[in-house]
Structure 1
């Protein structure tokens, strides 16, 4: 079993981080916070930021604009936690965000528009889709579980929470799948890929 650790985002490294080790299963009350603040605390452990730094952190290709894909990723709409969300609802969420921050209907949200409209009091809405999980498997495990309930001095035998067990099961599944793919790539002919009609024995 490999102890899962990942390198946290270094963007905004100068900003104070929250290192709260809550009791396992305890939920933090975000009812008084707007969605961007809740997202930054929960997903990045950052509680002090401005509109421009929030935008830059979520401008994944550093282009100076947010595309629909980037907004979709920031809200975690394709994360497994939102598997029950219909594509129609996802598109509705994107339209609402762009209606707020893309007033000229350009199809993208520019950093200048986002900063200007944020200063006017506009906020990314809370659509009830969670804090916006948009990291890889290691990052999400690290930020949402390991840091909160274990800490740097944790030993492998301490990782017994259901979240730990599920995380390592995911690693096992990924490893098994990688072995399967490696085996297929080493084969000259993959029988499973041959259409059934060509596998029938010829008639006598």
Structure 2
């Protein structure tokens, strides 16, 4: 968790607020799951039971009365007593969009603001820009379909003429 999205730059109240995705004043199991990136592609091989155990470990620390949610008050009190969010072995956590995740977890670590396109040769860079190309091609296909008055592929075969 220490490398998670500049965690060292946040104070506890700011960190809690940033990860309270629905702004309810509490963290739910789903919010902890999202913060730890348990549904991210990088954790697809992890079993559901290990993910549930990870969530339980966080709740054991920050929800001492088993309310089913972590209140801001309990989080801040527990952090001020010296407890830290555990590193549960699921990586740095992934809960932003693809661009943000790439920026935080790769670009900032291995490249600088002055990096040229020619220097972006890591496998992560190639994969990232390949994804951009695929998204752009999909958008172009969609725009082409939207310009058509009739999309023949959408007509059920029983209504098509045999040619």
Give the structure 2 partner of residue 149 of structure 1: 110
- Matched pairs, number: 161
Higher-helix-fraction structure: 2
Q: Is 1:169 the counterpart of 2:130 in the alignment?
A: yes
TM score, norm. by length of structure 1: 0.66
- Of 161-170 and 145-154, deviating more is 145-154
Q: Hey, what's the Cα distance between the residues in 1 that align with 2:103 and 2:44?
A: 21
Q: Is 1:92 the counterpart of 2:37 in the alignment?
A: no
CA displacement at 1:189 relative to structure 2: 4.5
Give the structure 2 partner of residue 78 of structure 1: 39
RMSD value, Cα? 2.6
Query: Counterparts of 1:54-65 in structure 2 under 5 Å?
Result: 54-65=15-26
Give the structure 1 partner of residue 153 of structure 2: 191
Q: Is 1:117 the counterpart of 2:75 in the alignment?
A: no
TM score, norm. by length of structure 2: 0.80
CA displacement at 1:122 relative to structure 2: 3.1
| 1:152 to 1:85, Cα distance in 2 relative to 1, 3 A | same
| 1:99 to 1:149, Cα distance in 2 relative to 1, 3 A | closer
* Structure 2 unaligned regions, length at least 5: none
Give the structure 1 partner of residue 69 of structure 2: 108
Contact map agreement 2:37 2:95 (CA 8 A) in 1: yes
Matched residue of 1:47: which SS? helix
Contact map agreement 2:35 2:93 (CA 8 A) in 1: yes
CA deviations 1:95-114 (Å, max 9, x no partner) are 23223322333322110011
Contact map agreement 1:98 1:109 (CA 8 A) in 2: yes
CA displacement at 1:172 relative to structure 2: 1.0
Matched residue of 1:45: which SS? helix
